[in-house]
Amino acid sequence: SQTIHQWPATLVQPVGSPLSLECTVEGTSNPNLYWYRQAAGRGLQLLFYSVGIGQISSEVPQNLSASRPQDRQFILSSKKLLLSDSGFYLCAWSPGTGSGEPQHFGDGTRLSIL
């Protein structure tokens, strides 16, 4: 069966520091991968998605970037964090067939910027 791992679970970082959040998927090949941010107001905002190694689509202009160095690894990064980067970050995957199979989520990373 497929599993998705996201870490760390919580992170407290000072303003201006770098960020690296990692997500890996097991038990499947060539998945679509997604990074979301969930602000306190509950809505889910799609940040990035990837349909293959090195292929990243950015949904909103921001202080963050994403990379996919391996088929089942998705990394969310920032060179200098802003206060507005605080939030709950969720990684998700779906089968790469484009058939409408649902997205499956990791447990999330709670990021607090001080």
Partner 1 sequence: GEDVEQSLFLSVREGDSSVINCTYTDSSSTYLYWYKQEPGAGLQLLTYIFSNMDMKQDQRLTVLLNKKDKHLSLRIADTQTGDSAIYFCAETFNAGNNRKLIWGLGTSLAVNP
- Cβ atoms of 34 and 46 within 8 Å: the answer is yes
Name the residue among 55, 13, 17 with its Cα closest to residue 34: 55
Compare residues 17 and 45 and give the one whose CB is closer to partner 1. Answer: 45
Q: Determine the residue type at 6.
A: Q
Query: From the CB of 93, what's the least distance to partner 1, in Å?
Result: 11
Least gap, CB of 80 to partner 1 (angstroms): 27
Nearest-Å Rg of the Cα atoms of the chain is: 13
Q: Which is nearer to partner 1, 46 or 73 (CB)?
A: 46
Rounded least distance, CB 108 to partner 1, Å? 5
Q: Does 103 bind partner 1 (CB under 8 A)?
A: yes
Q: Which of residues 42-101 bind partner 1 (CB under 8 A)?
A: 42-44, 46, 49, 51, 90, 92, 94, 98-101
CB of 50 to partner 1, least distance (A): 9
What CA–CA distances, in Å, run from 27 to 57, 79, 81, 102, 105? 24, 31, 33, 16, 14
Taking the C-alpha atoms of residue 42 and residue 19, their distance in angstroms, rounded to an integer, is 23
Question: Which residues contribute to the site for partner 1 (CB under 8 A)?
Answer: 6, 32, 41-44, 46, 49, 51, 90, 92, 94, 98-108, 110
